[in-house]
Structure 1
Amino acid sequence: MTAAGPWPRCSFVADAAHDPREGTAPPADRWFLVEHGGPWGRVPLSQSGIHPAAVAAISAWVATEAGRLVLVRRPGRAPGPTEDVVHGDTPGRPRRWFRVDSRPGHESIRTGTFVDEAELVEAVHAPGVPYVGPLHLVCTHGRHDTCCAVRGRPLAAALAAADPAPVWECSHIGGCRFAPALVLLPHGYVLGGLTAQDAPAVVRDYADGRLDPVWMRGRSSLPPAVQAAQHHARMATGATGVDALRPIDVVAEQQADGSPGWRVELADPACSVRLHERRVETGRPLTCAATVPGWMRVFELVEVRPTTTDHGALRDMDT
C-alpha cells in the first residue's frame, strides 16, 4: 500500500509506529488569523483568492515577526475527505482577524473586523481591541493532507458542541502525521493525536491553566529541543501549569559519537534536561501527499535531574 492509496494514511501509520510528538510544534512567535470560509488552496495565503495587497502585507509581517498565517472558519458541514468546507463569505459581511503574541510573558490576543480583504494590509499592524479568552484552532485542511480533514473535523465538532465560542477550524499547521492538530492560543501550545472524546476536558484544563503532556507536541515560540525538554520534564516532575518549566538556558553538547545533544535548563520547578538528537530514516512517506520516504528529528531523553542553579545568573530566554 502506498501513500497515494486510500489507506493507510500518514497519521494512522505514525500512530502505529509511535512516532514521538515532542519537539514538533511549528515555529511561530506570533500568529495572524484571518476568517476565510474557503475553499482553501494547498498554500493557504497565496492560493485561496485573497487580495494580492493583503497577501503581500501578511507575508511581510510573517517574515518580520517570526509569525504564522492561518485561515480560520467556524466548524461546518463535512464534505469529502480531500475537500474543504465552502461556507461562502457573504459579500459585505464583517469577518474577523486575530493577531496573537505567543512569546512567554507576552501572551495576548488582539482582534478586529474587515469587510474588504484589502483592509488586511492595515490590520497586521492595527492596534485592534483585546480579545479576552482562549482560541482553539483545529487543522481541517483537507487539500493539504487528507488526515487533517478526516481526523480534524470530528475534533472541531466535539469542541464546538461543548463550547463553540473559542473554536475555529484552521488551515495547515504542520506535522500532518500527528493529526488532528490542536493549537491552544494565546500560548501557542500545539497538541497532536487528541481524540474527540478527550478534547473538551483538555481545553477546560487549559482554561484553568493546566496542560496534559500526553498530547503535547510543544510550544510554537520555543526551539524544538526546548519543546522536547519541557515534555520530558513534565513527565518526570508532574508539572502541569501552562507557565511551568520556564526555559532559562540551552547549551549544545556534542555526543561521544559526534551527534548533536542538548542541555536545557528549566525553572519552576528547577531542573536540567539532557537530550540526544538523532535523525531517523523512517522508510515511509511522512504525509499523505508525499511520494518518497522521509526522515524525522528525534530527541531522546538522556536524563532529567533537579537543580539548585541560580537561574537569575543565566541567560533568560524570555527577553
Structure 2
Amino acid sequence: MSATALPATYDESRGWEPCSDRSLERDDPLAGTGGFGARWLLIEIDGAWGTHALFQSRLDPELGRALARRAEGEGIRPVAIRKFGRRADARRTQTSWRWALADARPGRESIRWGSVEDPAELLHVPLDGSAGIPSSEPALLVCTHARHDQCCAVRGRPVAQALAAAYPDATWESSHLGGDRFAATMIVLPYGLYYGRVPAAQAAEIVESYRHGEVVERYYRGRSSLTNVVQAAQSFARSHTGDLRIDAFTPLSEERIEGGWAVELEHGDDVLTVRVHEQMSAPLLSTCAATIPNAVREFAPDTITRRARL
C-alpha cells in the first residue's frame, strides 16, 4: 500500500514526519490492533484539549482526575467528546454537559445518554447503566486529538467533518483512541468497532455497513471488548470466509499453544479453529512524538480449520 498525499496543512519545512505516512509506507497490518474498552464513558467537553483531555480542558483538572479515577476503577474507559468545530470555540460558555455510557460487550451492546448542568454532577452519574436515555443510534467517534498526536488532527478532522455532514447527531470528535499511526482512527459504539486509515470519502461506507450489520474489513482493526488475539483471529476468519457480519464469529475459546494461539469461533452451525502466531515488527516510530524506535507485535495466521458444532 502506498502513502497518500498529505493535506495542505502539512508543512514539510517544519520537519514533521507523520507517523501515519510511515505506517502506510510499511503497510503495518490493522488486524488485531483495536484498543481495549469493554465499557465506555463519554463526556462532552467543548473547546481545546491538552495532552490529557480530561485534565487539560475547560473541565476543572481535579474534577477531571476524579472522573477518570471513578470510571477506570469500574473498568470503564473515559473519553472526551465534542461536536465538530467546537475545538476553537473557547469563548462559548458550556451550559450543558452531555454524557453517555456505552457497553460494548457482546450480547450487552447498549448506549445511554444523559446531561447535567453542573459538571460536578458527572461524579454522581450511575455507572451501572441504570441512568440516562437508551438510544438505538450509534455514536461515531473520530479521534482529532491534536495535542496527543498531530496525525490524529490532520487525518481525523476531515473524517469528522464528512461524517458530521452526513450524520450530525451521531458524529463526535474524540480524545485519544489509540493507534495514532493508523490515523484517521474512529470507533463505532456501542459495538466498539475500531477502524483505522479511514479516508473521508469512504467514512460514510463504514456507517452504512454498520446499519446493515457488517464491518468494512479493509479499514477494520477489531472489536474493543475482545483481546487483540481474538480480534486478529476474527479478521483472518473473515478474509477466509468472506463473511463480514459483525456477529458472525462468536469467540468460544482462546488457548495459548506452542508457537501462538488457537482461537475457536462459532460460525453458524460450525466451529472455526484459527491458529495465529505473534511476530515482532522491525523497530519503528509508532507516534509522531516518538524518538526511539520500538518493535510492535503483529499477528499472522497459521491455519484455519472447520468442524461441526456439537
Q: Would you say same fold, with TM above 0.5?
A: yes
| Whole-angstrom distance in 1 between the partners of 2:244 and 2:309 | 22
Partner of 2:178: 174
Q: Deviations over 1:96-150 (max 9, x none)?
A: 1011000000000011111211011012536111122111000000010000000
For residue 150 of structure 2, what is the amino acid of its counterpart? T
Cα deviation code 1:214-250 (max 9, x no counterpart): 1111111100100000111111111111111010100
C-alpha separation in 2, matches of 1:250 and 1:121: 37
2:200 is matched by which residue type in structure 1?
Answer: A
Q: Which residue of structure 2 aligns with residue 258 of structure 1?
A: none
Equivalence for 1:317: none
Relative to structure 2, which stretch is displaced further, 142-151 or 197-206? 197-206
Give me the identity figure in percent: 40
Task: State the distance in 1 between where 2:232 and 2:27 align.
Answer: 15
The answer as to 2:113 corresponding to 1:111 is yes
Q: Paired residue for 2:69?
A: 60
CA distance in 1, matches of 2:184, 2:94: 33
The Cα shift of 1:58 comes to 2.5
- Offset of residue 162 of structure 1: 1.5
Equivalent residue letter for 1:268: H
Q: Find the aligned partners of 1:292 and 1:112 in 2 and give their Cα distance.
A: 43
In 2, the alpha carbon distance for the partners of 1:168 and 1:202 equals 15
1:200 equivalent to 2:204? Answer: yes
CA deviation after TM superposition for structure 1 residue 163, in Å: 1.9
Q: Which amino acid aligns with 1:291?
A: T
Contact 1:38 1:87 in 2 (8 A): yes
- Is 2:290 the partner of 1:290? yes
**Residue 101 (structure 2) aligned to one of 82, 99, 102:** 99
Within 1, Cα distance between the matches of 2:58 and 2:165? Answer: 30
Aligned residues between the structures: 295
Q: Secondary structure at the match of 2:201?
A: coil
Q: Match for 2:282: what amino acid?
A: E
Preserved CA contact (<8 Å) 1:61 1:124:
no
Deviations 1:172-215 (A, max 9, x none): 11110000011011000100001111111211110121111111
The 1:4/1:206 distance shift into structure 2, 3 A limit, reads farther
**Deviating more after overlay: 166-175 vs 38-47:** 38-47
| RMSD over equivalenced CA pairs, Å | 1.9
Unaligned runs of 5+ in 1: 78-84, 256-260, 311-319
Match of 2:262 in 1: 263
Q: Structure 2, unaligned stretches of length 5 or more?
A: 1-11
Matched letter for residue 114 of structure 2: G
Rounded Cα–Cα distance in structure 1 between residues aligned with 2:148 and 2:191:
25
Quickly say closer, same or farther: Cα 1:237–1:6, change in 2 above 3 A.
same
Deviates more, 1:63-72 or 1:237-246: 63-72
Q: How far 1:277 sits from its partner (Å)?
A: 0.8
Q: What corresponds to 1:10 in structure 2?
A: 19
Is this contact kept in 1: 2:47–2:58, CA < 8 A? Answer: no
When the two structures are superposed, what TM-score results if normalisation uses the length of structure 1? Answer: 0.87
Code of the aligned partner of 2:104: S
Give TM-score, length-normalised by structure 2: 0.90
The answer to whether the 8 A contact 1:193-1:215 is kept is: yes
Q: How does 1:188-267 map to 2 (within 5 A)?
A: 188-255=192-259, 261-267=260-266
Q: Is the 1:246–1:267 Cα contact (8 Å) retained in structure 2?
A: yes
Tell me, in whole angstroms, the C-alpha distance in 1 between the residues paired with 2:174 and 2:98: 13
Aligned to 2:304: 304
- Aligned equivalents of 1:191, 1:4: Cα separation in 2: 31
In 1, Cα distance between equivalents of 2:201 and 2:43: 28
Q: Contact 1:4/1:288 (CA < 8 Å) preserved in 2?
A: no
Shifted more, 26-35 versus 89-98: the winner is: 89-98
CA–CA distance in 1 between the matches of 2:309 and 2:62? 50
